[in-house]
Structure 1
């Protein structure tokens, strides 16, 4: 299959809800505050898509900060999902220091080849070691949940990309309820929720990002009941320096406190608004991601990192 361009612009719909951009502290503001005393940490990146040079730089940057308990890749590990691309990806990982545990969510680029969907998923699971497309584990003392599509994209390389299905939605509902007593539950998805973080909200949003999930209403209804959810999504490649890189999402009928949503950044190519309801590539040289810190006081802090310049961008305590 020919590698896709960006997505076709579609109209948005779904639940009535509110979004509050969280912003957090800029690097300059964070520098004036006491440094977070971390008991554990996770590294989170996404959207590698074949950019192995920038992946290596990102891994080196994160390793210099100290060893984390896990590296999470929130989808689009490879460009078209071929065997050779997976081999090249894991060879690059082997060449750079990183946490022993590498966890991953299924992205759309893992499916950009002519193989049957079941073959694409089997290949993803084989290389990543993930048990299924949706699963839960524990790292840094936190519950980590992974979600992803259980059916091929309905429109090829255009949204919607993700069909969660009744079984996965039921699993997510029951699993989140089982963790109701936890201070945080981290949910990882490659695809982005409508009306949440950069690219999906505000006057410069790219309107097609409101179309990633076939069953978005059911998903938002479930997530909206749990104020302890921190939902991490990639896919957009938008700048983590924006004030809407993280947001509080309040769903109609859900917990009035809402739940937290965080953009995971990108390894390959920064995108941004084109001024016409779409987006455009801004720079292939930029590369960004996250370090998630669990403080000695139990508080969760998310740091967005600039891998090109090896520096902090923003920090948010959830």
Structure 2
């Protein structure tokens, strides 16, 4: 009897695509970083069932940046959806991706997608021209109703702004301002397996409202890990990565979710642990 196939959701975040030839902060080639990320995603075996982009798809924003983003994502051989971050613009994003199944024809770009046994829910925390995030009342009502549609199907929640503190103060002051409102709904619906955010450009793990909560690293640059507040707000060019959220079916018990961090780049290996004689090398 063959093993049940896992359902794999890739999460990439904070692409910050600029106009062709422009560098983020005068230093980071975010377009080249996304090209490497797309190649890494395409090379995965098995390939993910869906890629979720958790905000800051572009940097300024301008229609030209979204056009450049489209060209960079064109080689991706996996379906993808995204949610705005503070560097995005709703109207431009809706125009750039008109085929995404938004919950409403105007306002927040909330989305829900069924992928095998999973419900993938994207929450728009964008506040126009502000760095922090807020979930609108309409988003919270839609989320509660969407989650109430089933008690058993596992759900994965994605948004840009983390609903928890990281200890990086200049980022914490611009996270999700109404995290308590989200927490009330998360506690009400235990089928939520994870709350996955972006914004901070660092791999981060904690708990939130009784479930797992993470931040996805970026394919380009990382926010400086300066918990002691020794430096002005800064970034570092660290090893890029993304997250894979893998749902393994467990028969009658449902299943369990595992999150893997995948580095982007060429690394030595894989090398066998055992020789031809079966002995550990």
TM-score by length of 2: 0.76
TM-score by length of 1: 0.68
CA distance in 2, matches of 1:64, 1:232: 23
Partner of 1:123: 92
Residue deviations 1:253-297 (CA, integer Å, cap 9, x gap): xxxxx11112121122112322217753121x5311012222243
Match status 1:85 vs 2:30: no
CA distance in 2, matches of 1:265, 1:179: 31
Alpha carbons 1:38, 1:293 under 8 Å: kept: no
Alpha carbons 1:206, 1:279 under 8 Å: kept: no
Q: Secondary structure at the match of 1:98?
A: coil
Match status 1:176 vs 2:147: yes
CA distance in 1, matches of 2:235, 2:171: 16
Q: Secondary structure at the match of 2:138?
A: helix
Partner of 1:306: 263
Residue deviations 1:193-225 (CA, integer Å, cap 9, x gap): 123xxxx1xxx4325415423432212221233
Partner of 2:55: 75
Alpha carbons 1:136, 1:145 under 8 Å: kept: yes
Point out where structure 1 has 5 or more consecutive residues left out of the alignment.
Answer: 1-35, 111-119, 251-257, 313-318
CA distance in 1, matches of 2:81, 2:95: 12
Partner of 2:36: 57
CA distance in 1, matches of 2:12, 2:54: 6
Partner of 2:6: 39
Change (3 A) 1:222 1:296: closer
Q: Secondary structure at the match of 2:262?
A: strand
Partner of 2:87: 109
Point out where structure 2 has 5 or more consecutive residues left out of the alignment.
Answer: 18-29, 103-108, 270-281
Give the total of aligned pairs: 240
Larger Rg: 2
Alpha carbons 1:137, 1:143 under 8 Å: kept: yes
* Greater RCO, CA 8 A, separation 6+: 1
Alignment of 1:135-150 (within 5 A): 135-149=111-125
| Corresponding residue to 2:225 among 257, 273, 280 | 273
Q: Secondary structure at the match of 2:234?
A: strand
